Amino acid sequence: MSRDMRFAIIGAGMAGILSAVKLTEAGLTDFTIYEKADRVGGTWRENTYPGVACDVPSQLYCYSFALNAEWTHPYASGDEIEAYFERVVREHDVERSIRFGDEIVSCAFVDGRWHLETASGHRDVVDVVIAATGVLHHPSYPDIEGLETFAGHAFHSARWDHDVRLAGVRAGVIGTGSTAVQITAAIVEEVEHLSLFQRTAQWVMPQENPPYTDEMRAVFRDDPALLEKIHGELSQMFADGFANAVVDADSPQMKMIEDMCRDNLEQSVIDPELRERLRPDYRAACKRLVVSGDFYQAIQQPNAELVTAGIERVEPGGIRTSDGVLHELDVLVLATGFHVDSFMRPMSVVGRDATQLAEVWAERPNAYLSISIPDFPNFFMLNGPNGPVGNFSLIEVAELQFGYIMGLVERIRSGECREISATSTAMEHHEADRVEAAKKTVWTTGCRSWYLDDRGVPATWPWPFDRFRAEMAAPKAEAYEAR
């Protein structure tokens, strides 16, 4: 006999919206989404910097149940993606279940249920928690001497100050990842002078992004089967051409990616001295691959400067580099990334027998298949630790994971058990296999990146994407403890 169940979903970003839609489809409508901000959107709400866009094709970066004929470009802008999520929320009546502006600060498993408390003091008791907190929302600020003394406007890329005018200013950008590349290309023609402070050069995959014509969007609108076909083909292309390439550093696909990046640098950058300063000393895709069709053009503009001398300190008037030069600035943008290992933290999570997640994760985050943690029953993560990250669709990953989670939920719903979580043995074996497999990936070929944990092991899925699909088909009963 089916039992009634109550759910809490933490986060109203991509994965939280997905969870709400899928629970409703399954007839599980007793849930609340807890969102710390005042609207939906997750990373696309947080990141509003000029040029923000997705580096995964828009026809793939959308829910399989809400394919979108209205994308304006093959690679969508951030505001367009946020609008897409807002539309899905409206069409599926998700907003009525969202509690905005009330961050969960505590989750404790007591007497077989999760007891939640929010920052406002609101309390809730639920059977299942789905943590859809994402990873790109805790900004990482650089430890640079004198940063607080800067006399101009300084802000993190994820906290963009839209009140600051860029026209005619001297702007500095610290960082060379995807965010810095997008900002550089977006603002170089507006500012008087742009200084890009590069610690590490990046390989750049060329990618044009011409607009879809009205005629093309009309075709998509009139032929849903075509959209499904494109979505499926892009999914398999990313699995075969990229996801499978990076997990085998010696694969022919990896060589093809490296050749494309090298040719892009050679053919796009005219000045040989600048070209060499832009040339990384590690293999392509060892760091998250930067995808751009206009960065090299932007950094070669007469008012753009690539600064490769190390940053000594920030002064009121700008940045002093190790060669003694003061780079005078009016605006300083910190495109320095995020604390990608935070996940639910700093929220307190206490599992069975008063087990503290902060203690379990004291060395580093870990979870079985990135979804379940031993001794934290009925607590499931989407895009959790060591899952697939990289240049492919996290929406597809989350959809696969949610289908898997529903297999666990059904065991509770049917009355087979009241509590379920991965066994320690299953997680330990999975982690040992993962660490061994990671040695063959391109991420361990000699660069520093945000993929690497404190041991230098990539905190990501190290096998072909088709293996991930197979794992997500159904939970293995022997990997779980059910009570």
For the chain, percent of residues with pLDDT exceeding 70: 98
Among 347, 377, 332, 338, which residue's Cα sits nearest to residue 128? Answer: 377
pLDDT digits (tens, 9 = 90+) for 142-191: 999 999 999 999 999 999 999 999 999 999 999 999 999 999 999 999 99
- Beta strands 348-350; 104-110: pairing state: parallel
**Bond before 346 cis per omega within 30 degrees:** yes
CA torsion sign for 109, 115, 117, 121 is negative
Q: Helices 78-91 and 14-25 meet at what angle, rounded to 10?
A: 20
pLDDT digits (tens, 9 = 90+) for 17-62: 999 999 999 999 999 999 999 999 999 999 999 999 999 999 999 9
CATH for the stretch 147-208+235-334: 3.50.50.60
Give the pLDDT confidence score for residue 167 in this predicted structure: 97
pLDDT band at 7 (very low <50, low <70, confident <90, very high): very high
- Same CATH topology for 7-138+339-482 and 147-208+235-334: the answer is yes
Q: Helices 214-222 and 224-238 meet at what angle, rounded to 10?
A: 100
Q: Helices 394-413 and 14-25 meet at what angle, rounded to 10?
A: 40
Q: How far is CA 160 from CA 36, 150, 249, in A?
A: 18, 17, 37
**Which listed CATH number (3.50.50.60, 3.30.465.10, 3.40.50.880, 3.40.50.720) goes with 7-138+339-482?**
3.50.50.60
pLDDT digits (tens, 9 = 90+) for 270-317: 999 999 999 999 999 999 899 999 999 999 999 999 999 999 999 999
Give the pLDDT confidence score for residue 392 in this predicted structure: 65
pTM recorded for the entire structure: 0.95
Decide if 299 contacts 133 (C-beta within 8 A).
Answer: no
211 burial level (CB within 10 Å; 0-12, 13-18, 19+): exposed
Give the pLDDT confidence score for residue 342 in this predicted structure: 67
Q: How far is CA 393 from CA 41, 115, 207, 270, 280, in A?
A: 16, 33, 17, 34, 26
pLDDT band at 358 (very low <50, low <70, confident <90, very high): very high
Q: Tokens in use for 91? A: 């069409």
For 421, the enclosing helix (H) or strand (E) is strand 420-422
Q: How far is CA 452 from CA 203, 248, 258, 446, 458, in A?
A: 18, 17, 21, 11, 4
Q: Where are the domains of the chain?
A: 7-138+339-482, 147-208+235-334
* Residue that the structure tokens 């994965």 belong to: 15
Among 239, 243, 252, which residue's Cα sits nearest to residue 285? Answer: 243
Q: Tokens in use for 248? A: 């085998």
